[in-house]
Amino acid sequence: MKQIAVVGVGYVGLVTAACFADLGNKVIALDIDERKIARLKQGRMPIYEPGLEELVRRNVHAGRLQFTTSYAEALEGTEFAFIAVGTPEGGDGEADLRYVQAAARSIAQAMTNPLIVINKSTVPVGTGDWVADIIREHQPQPMPFSVVSCPEFLREGSAISDFMHPHRVVLGSTDPEAAEKVAQLHLPLRAPIIVTDLRTAEMIKYASNAFLATKISFINEIANICEALGADVEEVAVGMGYDPRIGPLFLKAGLGYGGSCFPKDVKALAHMAEEKGRQPQLLHAVMDINADRRRIAVERLEEMLGDLQGKTVGLLGLAFKPNTDDMREAPAIDIAQMLSEKGAEVRAYDPIAMDNARDLLPQVTMCADPYALAKGSDALVVVTDWNEFKQLDLQQIRDLMRQPVIFDGRNIYDPAQMCALGFHYRGMGRGYKGPCAEEKPPAADETDAE
């Protein structure tokens, strides 16, 4: 059993603390937000993540997981201290490191024994060296410590599984002995462990997220071309995905990426490149394509409904992805705002995220369920691909709507089935199959064929 402190009980920190406790370690999770810690001590989670509440309660009951607001309490006798605080986007796209700086300073002032400080937060390349400087500068008296980078690769909605069954563990440090101790901490996960230097480990995180964001923007660019040429992007993606050099993951056309990671990490990487005089052209294209997806969705809906003034539009889903209540950079925000600006009355339903969305979207009426959403609506827009939406009674949905118009921003429905049910249906990148075969493939004389 190791004694571990985790600074920050947000998404990454709470999952990290609970999972290490479940592996048999003694973990103290710390946050300066007294209200958040008080709620956790009552068994109330600050975030929605499947399985997390039960995992936290089990380990608290077993005495392996505790919560505190005191650095002194968290660090007493501790060998490992994870920094898992937020790094929100700054004004120019750079990562805001004020919380990392505060955590490093507080660790330095409170530590009473040798310590391995582990950066779990997503931080710019070079932050590990900077954290070491902060700790060294703010120690009341010199105390041995090492800094290790251990970037997280957790997906919202499957974070516990991702932690317990990672594809790899990445560690970076200038201290091989410290890196080996952190590697030992991760051995029960039975995953490949990559040990490198601090800056390379930090770069692996940014490069990974930027590549995945690029795949999403690539397939969305292909979706635009599919619509113009009469092809179906869903079948194109399947055909591409069988190639092991490409793979099937992250080739899902739709409304683009959102959440806490991809948007800010791509921007931060581009900012780092520009600061060093490089021109990250591909990264800028990835961001531009992603931003366009929201606008394209509203334009397609206008093509289906005509003037949106006075129309009632229902949004099926608000969270940026299913199995989370996270509204950060969610496509629903931009879509709702654009619809409102065009004079539409906007309604919405989401199984989990409506409480978080109310303050962000005060002009949107929240509905009790998908059927209340459909009643009297001129159109529905599938924004989040919750499994619940795939199992709706679509005939009842159609009968409740003022006009049976559905724009499927996540391609969760079969165009032929929707047409057979009497919907005016359109998906993303479905070509002439999209709007119930109303569009036809390009004629031969409209192509370059002879």
Q: Catalytic residues, which ones?
A: 261
What is the Rg, in whole angstroms, of the alpha carbon atoms belonging to the chain? Answer: 24
Sign for the pseudo-dihedral over CA of 314, 319, 322, 325: negative
* One-character DSSP codes across 117-154: EEE-S---TTHHHHHHHHHHHH-SS---EEEEE----P
- From CA 279, how far away is CA 185, in angstroms rounded? 39
168 contacts 191 by C-beta, under 8 angstroms:
yes
Q: Calculate the CA 151 to chain-centre distance.
A: 15
Q: Which helix (H) or strand (E) holds 195?
A: strand 193-196
383 contacts 321 by C-beta, under 8 angstroms:
no
Neighbours of 403 (CB within 10 A): 17
Measured CA to CA in angstroms, residue 299 lies from 292, 305, 308, 312 at distances of 11, 10, 10, 16
* Angle formed at CA 338 by CA 337 and CA 344, multiple of 5 degrees: 90
268 contacts 205 by C-beta, under 8 angstroms:
no
**Which residues share a beta bridge with 146?**
116
Neighbours of 82 (CB within 10 A): 30
